[in-house]
Structure 1
Amino acid sequence: MKLIRTLAIFMAMVLAAAAPPVTAQDYDDLLEVHAELREFMVPGFTASVVLDSGARVGEVYGDALMQEKLAGLDRFEADLAALDVANWTRAQQVDYLAVKSLLNGYRFNLEVLRPWKRDPGFYLDPLMKVAFTDLSGSEDDVAVLRARLIAVPQMLDAARANLTEVAGDFADLALHNLENSDGVNHYHPYRAVPPPGIIGWYDDLLERSLTQRPDLAPDVRAARDALTAFRDWLRADRAAMTAAAGVGAARYDWYIRHVRMIPLDAATMITLAEREHERMTAALALLRHRNRNEPELSLSATAEEQRAKIAETDQIVRDFLVREDIITIPDYVGALGSNTPFIERPGGPNFWEQIQFRDPIPDHLHAVIPGHRFDAAVSARDDRPIRSQYSDGGRAEGWATYLEEALSITGATAHSPRADEYMQIFGIFRAARVPADARMQQNVWDVREAVDYMKAKTPWLDEDVARVDAEIYLRRPPGYGVAYTIGKLQMDALLADRAVQLGEEFSLREFHDRFLANGRLPIALTRYEMTGEADEVAAFWNTPPIPQP
């Protein structure tokens, strides 16, 4: 690392001495490339785009158009390569690397992931949103729903034509989700007994339409019938759907480095995560000993009790953040809600609820304030052309996971000793995700093996939460499952760097404020901008070709 850092600093000095001063026009060229790239890559690869494309799925995601998009990336890569960034400010260089990672990600989607050809869930995911529609809305809302319902049969027909390289794990997950509740149900309308999967939700929509909007019933029935036909097609052809779901070991490492811009490979991340798992498991045992005379916390029995716990927790957290000078809470940040609704399940609380219904503070710090929802409120005020459009999962989850242990250490849980145990259980689960993510993407494990591993490694972890997590980390672009623990470790390292650099001048509040102000960029880029240390970003300037399978 010292050699890399020395070389990187030396090269930067040489280039800076030889290069002319940077002009505003140079950076404007980058902004232009970024804007044109985003426009060129519509459609993208998200559920909302699939839903909006409706019956045009076959055209929008056809082989000819996707090959045209892939070929078009060559021009953007040449445009980026032509920019002489050596004498730019660190902030401008970071923006350049952010655009480079976006471009690399688009190429990987088009060359490797190709969800429109490999993953039936690519087409099914947005259809849940349609089935959740409240039928008491305005006539304009009903008109939008009708148009989407009408598009479903045509969209699924086009999907069947596109899906020529379906991975076995993706097919199995789609079949499961068509007929089974995922058992987690966050952000779903509440049902004491959730409908059985996507088809079940369309049955629910049909039942509601028959009483509230009978004029919609034929369109709902046609959409539901199209879904059952899609399920039957998957069942009939499943034996031939044998492609691997993961991207393979070499491609995984390429993606981690050149898209997620994490300066590590899979083997290193697994080792780090295994050590974190051991450390936190040991810490849990020590905390259980410390708290051996403390009463166990009971689960909330009613929604009212849980709401009261959340309200009390929110006030405790906000008071702590201000009193202990942890982070600035801008005046525009008001109520931020909560992340875990109260759900009564026939089989009892799931993993998240086992903790949250006892004490909400672990997830409140992670997902509400100063974690995800607070982070989103601050980021929404960012009007910089590149950073306002960039949101890295490793940055988002690394920040939120870092907060759990960091704020526990600084005193946020002093009022609730058991909460420290729950923080460790959260961290244990997040560490177990890293091998699961990497080995599924390397095609070493299938979903079942990843689920079994995480369950064996995590207290209270249930089948449904483990399966949903495995599905997320296999079906999303690679590396989301490692984002929590590895991002947290990157945050720890950045904190250490700044504390050493600034010495007695170090302020935790200023560190947190500056970090959030940098935007949702990969943490390695923020480290370079905040510290000037160039060793990690040295690996990002040149992008080799994506490895062949």
Structure 2
Amino acid sequence: MIRLRFPGLAGLVLVGLVAAPDARPAAADGPAPGTFAAFADDYYAALFAWDPNQATYAGVHDFDARLADLSAASFARRTADLKKLHQRLKGLRAGSLTDAEAIDAEALEHAIRAELLELETVRDWKRNPVVYLSKPAEGIDLLMKRSFAPPADRLKAVIGRLKAAPPLLAALRANVDNPPKEFTDLGVIVAKGSAQFFRTDLPAWARTAAGADEKLLAEFGAANKPVLEAFEAAAKWLEADVRPKSNGGYAIGADAFVKKLEAEEMLDIPLNKLLAIGEANLKRDRDAFVATAKRIDPKRTPAEVLATLTEDHPKPEDLVGATRGTIERTRKFLIDKAIVTVPSEVRPTIAETPGFMRTGGFASMDTPGAFETKATEAFYYVTPPEPEWEPKRKAEHMRQFNRTGMDIITIHEAFPGHYLQFLYAKQYPTKVRKLYFCGTNAEGWAHYAEQMVVEEGYGAGDPRVRLAQLNEALLRDCRYIVGIKLHTEGWTVEQGKKFFVEQGFIEPEVAFQEARRGTYNPTYLYYTLGKLQIYKLRDDYRKAKWANFRLQTFHDEFVRQGALPIKLIRKIMLPGDTGPTL
């Protein structure tokens, strides 16, 4: 998965609007007042002022010494200001816009509606501790790991963010009331991971960044100490006080679920039809999995055949090195087979997932933002088992990183998945497209890439590679169905886990992590949903181009548009098309 920050995925990212200086990365002579370009500048300037982490990630460094204000009063201001922005945007859309502006305006209107749904209906800011706990370490990690400025200058910004961290944890205690147990459990993990970060990782970096400046290092130490103590206290508070009283429900309900999909993914489809599509795709992939397993060894059950693959995995301490070896194989295949143009020689850095980011994912990609002009560091994170886990749980976790399946994971995360798509970010044609993020596009593209690359010959027809790809597909198919069931049909995490195990051939530990993820990421069906939409787009694009169709051309054109909803990508790639996305 890719780390999620930008509007278009509201609900995973809380954003807001406060009065603030202009943070727009634009020319000195800005757009004329009253134009859509001015609106887009104002929208993102306010977003960056509200959530400085997003500004840093995007490559806008005007707010590097600040963190978000997540007080209840600030959320109230955001709600009111979003409604004003919405009215302003409606007026612009009713006027005269260019074709490109009309697409961007439609995207931002959906982003605003998605945020309002989150703030007023889903309200994770009232029930999920991770909303608050993740901000400080994430914001400081962004300053540490990308060399956009001298280390001492970045350390000064880190000190600013350290001073802004205690109010975030105070807002957590003031705002969060009766969270679901699953959210509290994740909060404990993030709080402890953050405490470790502030105890060891950050001080080690700060000593190097300060160099001979003892005064600067002392200032850092004075700012870091209360933050470390605050996170240690937050972890104890969550475990001792909050967890016993965590009786809240995680389900957002059918109405909010459908509205969330429509606002974030521009998908307008009845829930029963949506579920039927997922169930049908699960059946297709499961039948293909069983048939492929039979090709490998007809005398064993599909689960037994899969076990012959998954038992071959690296040791936890060798996970980073083993992942590093997959990069060149997958990248070379794209070039040799003319699958998609690779626009850069820069490779991602492979590293273990930081402790404060370990909320259930196994791998992720963190790339520089589109407006980053100096730093090029991109990080491909893989998550080892925790040292305190019992041996059985560690083994189940590591089977996800079996040597055959690791290539499929890298196809998803790096080549041609997330990393390649975001290598194109600076080429995206408009500001909105540089900053907008939609799950069915980005995650759909990465999941589509897994299947497409195998179909194009990756693995040279080895059925074990096909089985590994189908194993990943089944995981995403189960997410599709479990997300719907958890939030609209009263399923428990245990029921979700059972479904992953029985229908997806997923290891119990992985199944638990996946089902729990569905509690806070309701619409994580966007992997399979996006893949299906992209396949349909490709089929329709092929029909439109007929003899002139080239797979590489299709892929190049797709990844150059930015991570807009597929409905809007269709408008760009198939002008005049009014067909459905599914």
Q: TM-score range by the shorter chain?
A: 0.7 to 0.9
8 Å contact kept, 2:314–2:398: no
Query: How far apart in 2 are the matches of 1:501 and 1:71?
Result: 45
- Please tell me the residue identity of whatever aligns with 2:546: G
CA 149–305 in structure 1, closer or farther in 2 if over 3 Å, else same: closer
Do residues 227 (structure 1) and 236 (structure 2) align?
A: no
- Please tell me the residue identity of whatever aligns with 2:40: H
CA 528–219 in structure 1, closer or farther in 2 if over 3 Å, else same: closer
Query: What pairs up with 1:121-520 in 2 under 5 angstroms?
Result: 121-129=130-138, 143-164=156-177, 166-175=179-188, 177-178=190-191, 197-199=193-195, 204=200, 222-234=226-238, 235-238=240-243, 241-292=246-297, 298-300=312-314, 307=321, 310-311=324-325, 313-330=326-343, 332-337=344-349, 339=380, 341=382, 343=384, 346-347=391-392, 348-351=394-397, 354-382=400-428, 384-414=430-460, 416-442=462-488, 444-463=490-509, 465-476=510-521, 478-479=522-523, 481-520=524-563
8 Å contact kept, 1:277–1:431: yes
Report how many residues are paired: 489
In structure 1, list runs of 5 or more residues that go unmatched: 1-24, 180-196, 540-549
How does the TM-score come out when normalised to structure 1? 0.75
66, 71, 78: which is aligned to 2:80?
A: 71
114, 124, 145: which is aligned to 2:123?
A: 114
Query: How far apart in 1 are the matches of 2:202 and 2:414?
Result: 35
Query: How far apart in 1 are the matches of 2:322 and 2:162?
Result: 40
8 Å contact kept, 1:402–1:491: yes
- Please tell me the residue identity of whatever aligns with 1:123: Y
- Larger CA deviation: 283-292 vs 126-135: 126-135
CA 428–130 in structure 1, closer or farther in 2 if over 3 Å, else same: same
SS in 2 for 1:325: coil
Query: How far apart in 1 are the matches of 2:33 and 2:532?
Result: 32
Residue 39 of structure 1 corresponds to 45
Query: How far apart in 2 are the matches of 1:88 and 1:211?
Result: 52
8 Å contact kept, 1:309–1:359: no
8 Å contact kept, 2:64–2:161: no
- Please tell me the residue identity of whatever aligns with 2:565: P
Query: How far apart in 2 are the matches of 1:30 and 1:205?
Result: 43
8 Å contact kept, 1:50–1:123: no
8 Å contact kept, 2:166–2:227: yes
CA 41–209 in structure 1, closer or farther in 2 if over 3 Å, else same: closer
- Per-residue deviation at 1:98? 0.9
CA 316–170 in structure 1, closer or farther in 2 if over 3 Å, else same: closer
CA 121–314 in structure 1, closer or farther in 2 if over 3 Å, else same: closer
Query: How far apart in 2 are the matches of 1:250 and 1:46?
Result: 32
8 Å contact kept, 1:394–1:487: yes
Query: How far apart in 2 are the matches of 1:159 and 1:55?
Result: 17
- Per-residue deviation at 1:225? 3.5
8 Å contact kept, 1:245–1:443: no
- Per-residue deviation at 1:393? 1.7
Query: How far apart in 1 are the matches of 2:427 and 2:549?
Result: 26
8 Å contact kept, 1:276–1:431: yes
Query: How far apart in 2 are the matches of 1:518 and 1:145?
Result: 34
Query: How far apart in 2 are the matches of 1:170 and 1:384?
Result: 37
How does the TM-score come out when normalised to structure 2? 0.71
Query: How far apart in 1 are the matches of 2:236 and 2:553?
Result: 57
CA 53–119 in structure 1, closer or farther in 2 if over 3 Å, else same: farther
SS in 1 for 2:171: helix
Query: How far apart in 1 are the matches of 2:133 and 2:161?
Result: 13
CA 445–204 in structure 1, closer or farther in 2 if over 3 Å, else same: farther
SS in 2 for 1:244: coil
8 Å contact kept, 2:52–2:66: no
Query: How far apart in 1 are the matches of 2:130 and 2:151?
Result: 30
- Please tell me the residue identity of whatever aligns with 1:121: V
- Per-residue deviation at 1:160? 1.1
Structure showing greater relative contact order (alpha-carbon pairs closer than 8 Å, 6 or more residues apart) = 1
Query: How far apart in 2 are the matches of 1:66 and 1:342?
Result: 33
In structure 2, list runs of 5 or more residues that go unmatched: 1-30, 58-62, 209-213, 299-304, 351-379
**Alpha-carbon deviations, 1:501-521, whole Å to 9, x = none?**
222222111111111122110
SS in 2 for 1:257: helix
8 Å contact kept, 1:299–1:357: yes
Residue 14 of structure 2 corresponds to none
SS in 2 for 1:160: helix
SS in 2 for 1:494: helix
Query: How far apart in 1 are the matches of 2:170 and 2:267?
Result: 39
**Alpha-carbon deviations, 1:245-270, whole Å to 9, x = none?**
33221011011012321233443332
Query: How far apart in 1 are the matches of 2:266 and 2:82?
Result: 19
Q: Percent identity?
A: 22
Rg larger in structure? 1
**Alpha-carbon deviations, 1:80-132, whole Å to 9, x = none?**
32235698665443222112112212222321233333221112123445897
8 Å contact kept, 2:166–2:230: yes
- Please tell me the residue identity of whatever aligns with 1:103: I
Query: How far apart in 1 are the matches of 2:555 and 2:205?
Result: 49
Query: How far apart in 2 are the matches of 1:305 and 1:156?
Result: 33
8 Å contact kept, 2:404–2:464: no
CA 528–29 in structure 1, closer or farther in 2 if over 3 Å, else same: same
Residue 95 of structure 1 corresponds to 104
8 Å contact kept, 1:41–1:69: no
SS in 2 for 1:380: helix
CA 252–90 in structure 1, closer or farther in 2 if over 3 Å, else same: same
8 Å contact kept, 1:273–1:431: yes
- Per-residue deviation at 1:168? 4.5
Residue 364 of structure 2 corresponds to none
8 Å contact kept, 1:351–1:460: no
**Alpha-carbon deviations, 1:344-384, whole Å to 9, x = none?**
87554555754443453211221111111011111233251
Query: How far apart in 1 are the matches of 2:331 and 2:234?
Result: 49
Query: How far apart in 2 are the matches of 1:151 and 1:501?
Result: 54
- Larger CA deviation: 363-372 vs 528-537: 528-537
**Alpha-carbon deviations, 1:365-416, whole Å to 9, x = none?**
2111111101111123325122111111220010110111112112122164
